[in-house]
């Protein structure tokens, strides 16, 4: 994260003075999470004249200001929204009683293929992962309360097929790119439409 990189720089563990290419991925999410002060502080330390790339679902407000401040003669490459993955997926809503939520989730997650299950809280991720394991599903949780080593291990197990169901919070899942996801299940609804799109895509 930008905050982690800033801490490393402040401790003298690394420097940005020789960086030639700076890439900011999911800039809109960085803005939503309040990381823009750290991002601008880091970009101020990157030497002028190098290549800078910015990836974002939107170019509004803080992101537009970032483009104007740090990019020289930027070229925009846009993905046609009509061709995006979210529009080519099937979306279904299941109305489930609270007492049936765990068994229904387990029944859905026990199918073949990779499933990412989204919940709102770290506690919820641990709880749902445990319920799934109790039901015989190879599941694990991924959230910000875990050490980096634990998160890396869980993600590797998921990518390698040792875990079929990954129960994640929105923040922990940001920036994760795993090919071959068969199903995204929102046990807890997304906070807003942007979170829903990020979960789905």
Architecture of domain 2-70: 3-Layer(aba) Sandwich (3.40)
Nearest-5° angle of CA 86, CA 183, CA 112?
Answer: 150
* Residue-by-residue pLDDT tens, the chain, 201 positions: 787 888 899 999 999 999 999 998 888 877 777 788 888 999 999 998 889 988 887 777 788 888 888 888 888 877 665 445 555 678 888 999 989 999 999 999 999 899 999 999 999 999 999 999 999 999 999 988 888 888 889 999 999 999 999 999 887 666 677 788 889 999 998 887 777 777 776
Homologous superfamily (CATH) of 82-200 is P-loop containing nucleotide triphosphate hydrolases (3.40.50.300)
Residue carrying the six token digits 């800033």:
6
* Residue extent(s) of CATH 3.40.50.300 domains in the chain: 2-70, 82-200
Q: Are strands 165-169 and 21-24 parallel, antiparallel or unpaired?
A: unpaired
Q: Identify the CA nearest to 41 among candidates 9, 18, 11, 65.
A: 9
Q: What is the spatial distance between Cα 152 and Cα 11, in angstroms, rounded to a whole number?
A: 24
Structure tokens at 145: 């309360």
* Global model pTM greater than 0.85: no
The pLDDT score that the predictor gives to residue 87 is 59
The pLDDT score that the predictor gives to residue 196 is 79
Tell me the Cα Rg of the chain.
19
Longest dimension (CA), the chain: 59
């Amino acid at each position: 994260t930008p905050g982690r990189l800033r801490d490393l720089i402040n401790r003298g563990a690394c420097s940005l003075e020789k960086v030639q290419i700076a890439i900011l991925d999911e800039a809109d999410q960085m803005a939503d999470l309040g990381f823009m002060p750290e991002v601008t502080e880091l970009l101020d330390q990157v030497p002028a004249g190098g290549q800078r790339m910015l990836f974002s679902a939107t170019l509004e407000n803080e992101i537009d200001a970032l483009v104007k401040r740090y990019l020289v003669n930027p070229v925009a490459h846009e993905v046609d929204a009509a061709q995006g993955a979210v529009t080519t997926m099937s979306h279904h809503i299941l109305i489930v009683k609270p007492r049936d939520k765990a068994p229904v989730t387990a029944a859905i997650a026990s199918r073949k293929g990779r499933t990412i299950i989204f919940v709102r809280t770290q506690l919820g991720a641990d709880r749902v992962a445990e319920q799934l394991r109790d039901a015989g599903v190879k599941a694990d949780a991924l959230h910000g309360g875990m050490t980096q080593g634990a998160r890396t291990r869980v993600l590797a197990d998921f990518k390698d097929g040792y875990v079929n169901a990954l129960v994640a919070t929105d923040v922990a899942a940001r920036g994760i790119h795993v090919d071959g996801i068969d199903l995204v299940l929102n046990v807890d609804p997304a906070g807003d439409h942007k979170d829903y799109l990020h979960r789905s895509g």
